[in-house]
Every structure is written in structure tokens, then in C-alpha cells.
Amino acid sequence: MGAGAEGGQPVKISGDLSNRLVHRWRSEEDAIMVGTNTARMDNPRLNTRLWPGKNPTRIVFDNRLVLDKNLHVFDGSQPTIVYYQTNDKLPDERPNVIYSITNSLIHTLQDLHERKIQSVLVEGGATLLQSFLEAGLWDEIRVFRSRMMLGKGRFAGAIKAPGVQGRLVSREMVGEDELTIYKP
């Protein structure tokens, strides 16, 4: 899912086979990370419901603690860590949700390491992904390209995808979608 429709509404972009593969990848990682806008706009579950296996710890950036507490990431169904930066507001107590203040990606990754979280799948959104790319804090980029066209691709509020960088190591079709993998 992505907030790709006009008005920012979520729309399914990739095919069923690609979605199952992403859920398999999720089951292989300690944690899965999204930013505030992705949590708000897509309301993802960040679990492995399409693949057998363990659910990763959900990591959500909510810098100003503005996310609606009815979102799936706050449902208590799996461990969730919410990173925030504000001191103006105290986080709400939620079952199975830990709040941790942070001031940078490096600090966040150090905190995750201390929590014994050794692998993180960063699913989005664009701002969070671009931050990891610019900081050089990535081991691999996996990009699905769908044949689906979303209008003109330049509507009000459109968010530019992060610039892919690195060395192309593979390209293959997964159902109707093209998967490309890059390494630093």
C-alpha cells in the first residue's frame, strides 16, 4: 500500500506475490520501521499476516506525538517502539508500546542495538528512507516497480520517491512487479 491516490488515499500498488514476499522479509527481521506520515496515511499493521512467522517489533517515528491512538501500530498486538523528540507532551501509556525520546537516527539505532534489535526493515515513507540514504545507514535497497499508473503522477501533495543509489546487484520479475536490489 502507498498513499499514491489523489488526496493521499492509500492504494494497493504492488501485486499479491510481491506483497507476500514483503511479509516474508518482515518475518526475517527483528524490526520494521515507518515514519509519522506513513503511519498516519497508510495505517499499516506492520505484521506478517500474509506469511507464517514471527511479527517484527514495530518502530514508529512520531516526533511530536501527534499520531491518532486508534491506528493499527497502537493496537497492542505486537511490541512497538515509538520514537519522539518533543518534551512538550508526555506520551500516552499503551499496552505493548514503549516510548523513547531520540534526537537522531544514530541515537535511535544505538538504542535499538541496546534493546538487542539487530536488523531493521525500513519500509517508509519517503522522508525517513531519504534520511537513511543520506546518512549512509543502509545495507541493501529493495525496490518494487509496478506497471500500475497512478494518474499523471504529479498531483498536489505528491511526494517524490527517494533517489535510488548504490550498485545494482539483481533485477527480476515477481509476478507483474519488477524487483531491483542495490548494495552500497
What Cα–Cα distance (Å) separates residue 100 from each residue in 58, 122, 124? Answer: 13, 18, 20
The secondary structure of residue 11, as a DSSP letter, is B
- Domain residue ranges of the chain, discontinuous segments joined by +: 6-136
DSSP 104: S
How much is the pLDDT for 156?
45
Q: Is the sign of the CA dihedral 61, 128, 115, 101 positive or negative?
A: negative
Q: Provide the Cα torsion 118, 124, 126, 127; round to 10°.
A: -60
**pLDDT tens digit string along 76-118?**
999 999 999 987 888 888 999 999 999 999 999 999 999 999 9
Q: Residue 182: helix, strand or coil by DSSP?
A: strand
Q: Which residues contact 177 (CB under 8 A, 6 or more apart)?
A: 14, 15, 17, 18, 144, 145, 146, 147
Q: Per the structure block, which three cell numbers stand in for 7? A: 488526496
What does pLDDT average to in each consecutive run of 10 residues of the chain (184 residues)?
A: 54 87 98 97 96 97 95 97 88 92 96 98 94 95 83 55 87 96 96
Sheet of strand 167-174, all strands in order from the earlier edge strand to the far edge:
141-145, 177-183, 167-174
Homologous superfamily, domain 6-136: Dihydrofolate Reductase, subunit A (3.40.430.10)
Per-residue pLDDT tens digits for 66-85: 999 999 999 999 999 999 99
The answer to whether the beta carbons of residues 84 and 63 sit under 8 Å apart is yes
